Amino acid sequence: MRNKTLISLLVLVLFVIFGCNTLTGVSPTATQELLPSPTAEAALPSATAALPTPTAAVAPTVTLPPPPTATLPPPPTATLPPAPTPADTPTRPAGIAPTILEIHMATQTQGWAIGTLMDAYDHILRTEDGGYTWEDVSPPLLGTATKAAAFFQGSENAWVLYTDTDIGPLTDAPSVWVTTDGGNTWGGVSLPLSGMEEFFAPGNFTFTDFSRGWLLVHVGAGMSHDYSEIFATQNGGQNWTQIVDPTSPDIGGLMSLPNTALAFADANWGWVTKDNQATRPGGYLMQSTDGGLSWDEVFPPAPSELDWYADGVACRSESPVFPASQTGYLLFTCRDFANDAPPRSFFYATTDGGGTWRYTPLPASVHQLIFLTPDDGWAFGRKIFRTTDGGQTWTLVKQVHWDGQFSFVDAQHGWAVARNRDTGEIALVSTSDGGATWQIIQPIIPGE
């Protein structure tokens, strides 16, 4: 009996030893859940008919007067205020899907956006994975100032201006917020206003490097006038100087008719594009060669395909870009109301600082240019065109059935905020083949 007891105990010990080894063995590896790759095509099929490739037409030479010698005054010394404390920082919601209103990508993975969440404010968002997930990195949101205008430079630098959407005089000077660390910290400085602002509607920022930037703001209107102010910074936004107000003596026709965009190529040479609204003959723009202190009207030669000096022809210059020194491109889109003709777009280029011009008619109307190099670029509308020779010839890439705001980082990878003009729906889409196909992205601010 004693031997049987010992044998039973021995069997029990062996069972426990081998059983424990089994229970403590390596468990199967958990399957990692990945974000699904989007497969939905965001656009209707491409147009089946190939469009003829337009040939470049060379316009007559136009010589501008010699530039003035004025320079911007040196900025006063200023430092950014300290970054806001956590108590000043807005609550950052998590686990919700933002509506992307503007997209500005810096690389294939990193980029910025302006979007709305679950409140009335525009939020500044940042992505590290190509637009699938986003982080809310907004600067402090101030009272009723809910609308954001911004300029994004690379993946770390951004300037943001918040304004009230209500039309009327300002009670407080708006602040321009700046970050140099991807939105982790912000500093802000108030704009110096003239006190003559009927309202305050930002046009756009433009920067040529981190230090030098400009801001166009619409502050009044009436009798075919767009009263505007231009502010400039020479130290990355630590302070801003008002260099143009509606009473400035050297602004030429800057206050006549709508100003559509502002861009500078360097510290001196810049453009403000215009809309003649069929009340003034000719397509034109404003040019500065002294950093924005003074402005002159520039009338590139009319295209042979359209007499834009005729009565009832409305021409709008827009989307100015400067892909190289002395090289500037822009669009003219014209509508001949007298003959009830559809809008036509023309690509205009100068390679000598605006001294001479060449143009190419586009087969369809477009509204945005993007150039990665002086040769390689796109023109965007309901039809997307591509050029590899500086705009002398254009090839149809894709026809879509939505209106878009586009951002490209290389020859293949691009994003767009796609809007359905009939339903008001908005979607974020991307391409990895230069715009030939587009896929829907479902953006998310993940839960913490």
Q: What is the DSSP string of 159-221?
A: EEEEEESS-S--SS--EEEEESSTTSS-EEEE----S--S--EEEEEEESSSS-EEEEEEEEE
- 8 Å CB contact between 413 and 431: yes
CA distance 257 to 223: 9
| pLDDT tens digit sequence for 375-426 | 999 999 999 999 999 999 999 999 999 999 999 999 999 999 999 999 999 9
Q: What is the DSSP string of 318-365?
A: EEEEEEETTEEEEEEEEEEGGGTPPPEEEEEEESSTTSS-EEEE-SS-
| The pLDDT of residue 413 | 98
**Confidence (pTM):** 0.79
| The pLDDT of residue 166 | 67
Amino acid letter for position 262: L
Phi-psi region of 354 (alpha: psi -120 to 50; beta: other; left: phi over 0): left
Rounded (5°) CA angle 316-318-323: 150
| DSSP run (H or E) holding 18 | helix 2-23
Q: What is the DSSP string of 121-132?
A: SEEEEEESSSSS
3-state secondary structure of 253: coil
- 8 Å CB contact between 217 and 178: no
- 8 Å CB contact between 205 and 213: yes
| The pLDDT of residue 122 | 95
What is each CA distance from 191 to 173, 203, 210, in whole angstroms?
Answer: 6, 15, 18
The token duo for 419 is 């809007």
| The pLDDT of residue 307 | 94
CA distance 403 to 422: 11
**Number of neighbours of residue 295 by Cβ within 10 angstroms:** 24
- Give the residues of the chain that fall short of pLDDT 50: 1-90, 92
- 8 Å CB contact between 203 and 221: no
- DSSP class of 81: P
Instruction: Give the number of C-alpha atoms closer than 13 A to the C-alpha of residue 113, restricted to the C-beta side.
Output: 31
| The pLDDT of residue 72 | 42
- 8 Å CB contact between 90 and 442: no
Cβ-proximal residues to 356 (8 Å cutoff; 6+ apart), any chain: 59, 61, 62, 63, 350
CA distance 349 to 213: 23
CA distance 115 to 103: 9
| The pLDDT of residue 448 | 66
| pLDDT tens digit sequence for 213-272 | 999 999 999 888 999 999 999 999 999 999 999 988 888 899 999 999 999 999 999 999
